[in-house]
Structure 1
Amino acid sequence: MLSGPRSTPVGDFLEEITGTFRAEIVGAVVNGELRELTFPIDMDAKVTPVTMSDPDGSRIYRRSVTFLLAAAFEELYPELDLLVDHSLASGGLYCHLEDDRELSEEQIKKLEQRMRELVKQDLPFERRKVPLQEAVAYFQARKHLDKVKLMKYRLKDNLVLYRLGEYQDYHHGYMVPSTGYLKWFKLSLLGDGFALRFPRRHAPDELQPLPESTRLVETFRQYGNWLKRLGVESVGQLNDAITENRIAELILVSEALHEQKIAEIARKIVSRPEAVRIVLIAGPSSSGKTTFSKRLTVQLLAQGISPFPIELDNYFVDRENTPKDAHGQYDFESLGAVNTRLLAEQLSALIEGQEVQLPYYNFKEGRSEPGKVVSLTKDQLIILEGIHGLNPNLIPTIPVEKTFRLYVSALTQLNLDRHNRISTTDTRLLRRTVRDARERGYSAFQTIQRWESVRRGEKNHIFPYQDQADEMFNSALVYEVAALKPLAEPLLRQTPHGTPEYVEAKRLLAFLEWFSPLNTDLVPDNSILREFIGGSILKEFTLWKNGDND
């Protein structure tokens, strides 16, 4: 029990227990609501500390260090425009200049040095709620037209601005109280821009090394170039397209860009010097892998190739042989849960033209049973979709040149404005919330409750192998959050107060407020988005099985 005078900031109470946590305390949940450490306690309250190891704490730290970067940047380089673009797998954000000019290594060092000076001074982030028109006038004077355009669609007549010295900005969400909290960061040159690096949740006081491969950055940048061609690089511009009835054209072009990329991947598969016999597809939850696989199949059929689908789930080992996690629970996401020996043997036999009896996994009984007897024709290739698709230990005995590995993820590039990015994880969670409610009868509470476990599986089994892919497909669509909004909002509002899931639902609802709603009737029936909102023409599409003898 902690006590003190009325109106004492919650952070002052928590200072007494700071040493009991491995990670820095950067926020708190007070009576079921996420709060900043400056929030005054005026009555008896139940308080849960939020650290940098928690999802909300990680976001608070990331948001605050981004604000610090923007403040130092404007002070040193007021004539340049900084864009905070997208996340990095190693922990950080990719940043660059709006006009594609590049900062020198010396300029980057100077910028980092100024940030560290501000941290050493432990200056407060002053929080002010101002009339919306005052905020608009401030951004207009600084020619931040993306922010001005975004504010045009704000439904509230006020806005919270944070100030550091002479610099002010809006940031979507809470901040730490002062610069002194921001001890862990580094700026590093990367590509045409630089990385703002900060800790990941599992190691909250360490910086992870930058990945050697820049393929994920290149995929993000390709999507950014798509957005430039579409003339929609921020949510304000998307809202303009919706309200001005230009959205149908935007949707058609967005979908055409997807189809163009899928067709390009199909051509690469077919044109390999040595015939590809197995296409492996992996990616995190709610990336649209199922619809992507079917659209890729259509493109391969158009190239004269007849794909044969194999479900990795049918190769689960019997339940009693399934590995267990640290909590003693069955770990179905471990590679050890898959009978990799049988999988490799049967794939080798199939591509040699032999007949095999595929397994069928009885999930109710938790055991493997005999399935269909099949064989392939000479020109058929296998499509294998699953969580371990890029893991080199899945089918180590099959020559790499006979495989084509694909990584699919919704790598959102559209941001609220130049300094407020949209998380790729948030987009996938919204997709999953809508799909789970429609197909599985799950509440938003249940989906959010499972999400942390899903994310842990992705971190362990998918993300480490994404650079093994021959190609990456970005399944994000510029208009999708606007289409998900009217479906997700009523689901999220039903999340019970006083639960951790409520805090997450409230955050997502605040995020969705920035988007104008889009009529889902405009979404094409073969769109990847249809996998989540329903009405997909591909739902009942089955791949041709010329070699199926059943």
Structure 2
Amino acid sequence: MRVFIDGKETEFPGGATYRDLIKSYSVLGVSVGGRTLSLNARPEPGAQAHALTYFDEEGRRIYERTLQFVLLAAAHRVIPGRRVRIEHSFGEALFIRLPKTTVTRQLVAKIEQEMRSIVERDLPIPLTESSKAEANRYFEETNQGDKLRLLRYRNFEKFRFYELCGLKEYFYGEMAPSTGYVRVFQLRMYLPGLLMRTPHAKDPTRVAPFRDLPKLMKTFGETGRWNGILGCENAADINEMIERRSFREFIRVNEALHERSIERIADEFLKSGARVILIAGPSSSGKTTFAHRLQIALKVLGLRPMKLSLDDYYRDRKDIPLGEDGRPDLERLDTLDVPLLDEHLVKLLQGEAVEAPIFDFPKGMRSDRTQTLRAAADQPIVIEGIHGLNDQLTESVPRELKFKIYISALTMLNLDDHNRIRTTDARLLRRIVRDYQFRGTSPEETMAMWPSVRRGEESYIFPFQEEADAMFNSALAYELPIMKKYVYPVLQAVKPESPHYTLARRLVKFLNYIRTADVEDEIPINSILREFIGGSCFYREQD
């Protein structure tokens, strides 16, 4: 029998697995059609497979899941019975808390030593199937109440367990076949928990360099504290609020916290003495709605903010370099006429009038028309766009006149203690809903563009986030039960033969555990979420 791996024909005997055919430990899984398969899977005759490495998104996810399982197995041996909570990404690392356990350098070193022992032995990670009842018994016996509560919302009777060192776990995706595949890692104490550092994205043979992100960590910490106060750490907490009919109040509190944060940022700007407000963040963070709400908060303080649209400073589409996908790369800084923007800002700050361009998006070029703009001496200028934190955008404006704001949807809600909901996945759901409803873009088209969007974020946004004077977390702990109604049916419609099937199924899998809440009448018309589901007061036609 024959199979094709990255176009190369390979003969294989009956009963062989992909692991039998691919001996390299740098290959973590395979992609066949739209599906991601474990190396333990058996090839079908004539299959066209792509070997997944750490350079592939799905390969990195396999590596991370496997490494998480190794960490959990090591912690189970070093601190048996203690709670371990995998919380969020931290650059090229994961932040992990050990609630009610005193974290010391010695403890972190012991866990890392045990992890390395598990990896060196190259232990198999078998996948077994059990019933939901059997899974419930296991989680009850091992005091994993978070998983017991979550399983109430699982509609399937069959359950898949991965096993390692006497520990059973479930993860939402494939794993490496054995522990020897995840040799590159390092633990680091980072109070109030620890960091599990992962391979460098461009050189997976070494651990990614450590980069401290204190402002981002503070923002995550504030959100985590509020979630703890509100009793909302895992998906089951949200589902139980819906059942108790207390979800409407939860929405009100979430929105009040957003409003309080925006007012605080407006106060900080007023005290700073700056003139230019620069708002930047990754895709689907809600930058536009945030900018509108911030301007209202500034008006309450007696200011008269003026918005300058970066979209109008785009160069003609024909002059924009192409990206890896052959399309114009709209994420680059030089897609904007930076010299003209810089010149206009300098003049506006000195009270001069400028003739600002108007970009004609249907034609993909600058219009012949312009708009006259002038800023008073006490008038803040608000600029929103992905390059806002990059000083090259506003090179001639002194730093003390700039107030930089970083906004992102930093999701802190987990499915359970060991299965986090990624911030990037939550933002992708927002974008799928918005693009499908208001831009006529299918979910598959949005998913096809997503890798290019993510590359732009890694290059042009994340390197500058710690330069922000303020950070705003636009995630709403209540949003997934609202979004599910819009996104779940269109994700389920993605066919198995689609190249985006694995991504669609991964999103569907975690949404399976989220209950739908039909309470949209409770969501304010100025909510960040309205930017994606519709009904925002900021997008209505002017009377």
Query: Would you say 1:13 and 2:21 are equivalent positions?
Result: yes
Structure 2 Cα separation of the partners of residues 29 and 324 of structure 1: 27
Cα 1:34–1:220, aligned 2, differ >3 Å: closer, same or farther? same
Q: Corresponding residue for 1:530? A: 530
CA offset at residue 408 of structure 1? 0.5
Q: Corresponding residue for 2:450? A: 451
CA contact (8 A) 2:413 2:421 kept: yes
CA offset at residue 319 of structure 1? 4.2
Q: Corresponding residue for 1:420? A: 419
Structure 2 Cα separation of the partners of residues 502 and 97 of structure 1: 35
Alignment of 1:251-400 (within 5 A): 251-272=251-272, 275-319=273-317, 321-325=319-323, 330-363=328-361, 364-367=363-366, 369-400=368-399
Deviation by residue 1:2-48 (Cα, 9 ceiling, x = unmatched): 22222321221233xx4xxxx92111123542211111235442322
Structure 2 Cα separation of the partners of residues 152 and 145 of structure 1: 11
Which sections of structure 2, spanning at least 5 residues, go unmatched?
1-8
Structure 1 Cα separation of the partners of residues 154 and 123 of structure 2: 30
Q: Give RMSD over aligned pairs.
A: 1.8
Structure 1 Cα separation of the partners of residues 442 and 317 of structure 2: 28
Q: Corresponding residue for 2:5? A: none
- Bigger mean CA deviation after superposition, 451-460 or 337-346: 337-346
- Partner SS state of residue 86, structure 2: strand
Structure 2 Cα separation of the partners of residues 514 and 103 of structure 1: 32
Q: Corresponding residue for 1:60? A: 62
TM-score, with normalisation over the residues of structure 2? Answer: 0.94
Query: Would you say 1:81 and 2:83 are equivalent positions?
Result: yes
CA contact (8 A) 1:150 1:514 kept: yes
- Partner SS state of residue 341, structure 1: helix
Structure 2 Cα separation of the partners of residues 94 and 136 of structure 1: 28
CA offset at residue 527 of structure 1? 1.2
Structure 1 Cα separation of the partners of residues 94 and 513 of structure 2: 22
Cα 1:326–1:494, aligned 2, differ >3 Å: closer, same or farther? closer
Q: Corresponding residue for 2:98? A: 97
Structure 1 Cα separation of the partners of residues 193 and 541 of structure 2: 43
Structure 2 Cα separation of the partners of residues 391 and 25 of structure 1: 37
Structure 2 Cα separation of the partners of residues 365 and 28 of structure 1: 40
- Bigger mean CA deviation after superposition, 499-508 or 431-440: 499-508
Alignment of 1:112-127 (within 5 A): 112-127=112-127
Amino acid in the other structure paired with 1:389:
G
Structure 1 Cα separation of the partners of residues 200 and 510 of structure 2: 22
Deviation by residue 1:304-343 (Cα, 9 ceiling, x = unmatched): 1111111112112344543455677543322222222221
Structure 2 Cα separation of the partners of residues 327 and 172 of structure 1: 29
Cα 1:362–1:126, aligned 2, differ >3 Å: closer, same or farther? same
Cα 1:153–1:217, aligned 2, differ >3 Å: closer, same or farther? same
Q: Corresponding residue for 1:548? A: none
**4+ runs deviating over 6 angstroms:** none
Deviation by residue 1:401-421 (Cα, 9 ceiling, x = unmatched): 111100010000111111111
Structure 2 Cα separation of the partners of residues 503 and 325 of structure 1: 24
Alignment of 1:228-239 (within 5 A): 228-239=228-239
Q: Corresponding residue for 1:545? A: none
Deviation by residue 1:116-161 (Cα, 9 ceiling, x = unmatched): 1111111111211111121122112222211111111111112111
Cα 1:152–1:440, aligned 2, differ >3 Å: closer, same or farther? same
CA contact (8 A) 1:150 1:417 kept: yes
Amino acid in the other structure paired with 1:384:
I
CA contact (8 A) 2:276 2:380 kept: yes
- Partner SS state of residue 5, structure 1: coil
Aligned length: 532
Structure 1 Cα separation of the partners of residues 421 and 318 of structure 2: 42
CA contact (8 A) 2:33 2:498 kept: no
CA contact (8 A) 2:28 2:39 kept: yes
CA offset at residue 541 of structure 1? 8.0
Q: Corresponding residue for 1:517? A: 516
Q: Corresponding residue for 1:109? A: 109
Structure 2 Cα separation of the partners of residues 314 and 529 of structure 1: 25
Query: Would you say 1:477 and 2:476 are equivalent positions?
Result: yes
- Partner SS state of residue 491, structure 1: helix
Amino acid in the other structure paired with 1:111:
I
CA contact (8 A) 1:362 1:369 kept: no
Structure 2 Cα separation of the partners of residues 328 and 173 of structure 1: 30
Amino acid in the other structure paired with 1:10:
Y
Structure 1 Cα separation of the partners of residues 389 and 35 of structure 2: 40
CA contact (8 A) 2:353 2:374 kept: yes
Cα 1:29–1:266, aligned 2, differ >3 Å: closer, same or farther? same
Q: Corresponding residue for 2:173? A: 173
CA contact (8 A) 2:284 2:427 kept: yes
Cα 1:327–1:513, aligned 2, differ >3 Å: closer, same or farther? closer
Amino acid in the other structure paired with 1:77:
I
Structure 1 Cα separation of the partners of residues 369 and 34 of structure 2: 51
TM-score, with normalisation over the residues of structure 1? Answer: 0.93
Structure 2 Cα separation of the partners of residues 368 and 210 of structure 1: 46
Amino acid in the other structure paired with 1:346:
H
CA contact (8 A) 2:348 2:354 kept: yes
- Partner SS state of residue 123, structure 1: coil
Q: Corresponding residue for 1:547? A: none
Deviation by residue 1:493-528 (Cα, 9 ceiling, x = unmatched): 232332221221121111211111121333222211
Alignment of 1:90-239 (within 5 A): 91-99=92-100, 101-239=101-239
Which sections of structure 1, spanning at least 5 residues, go unmatched?
543-550
CA offset at residue 368 of structure 1? 5.8
- Partner SS state of residue 343, structure 2: helix
CA offset at residue 492 of structure 1? 1.3
CA contact (8 A) 2:34 2:500 kept: no
- Partner SS state of residue 288, structure 2: helix
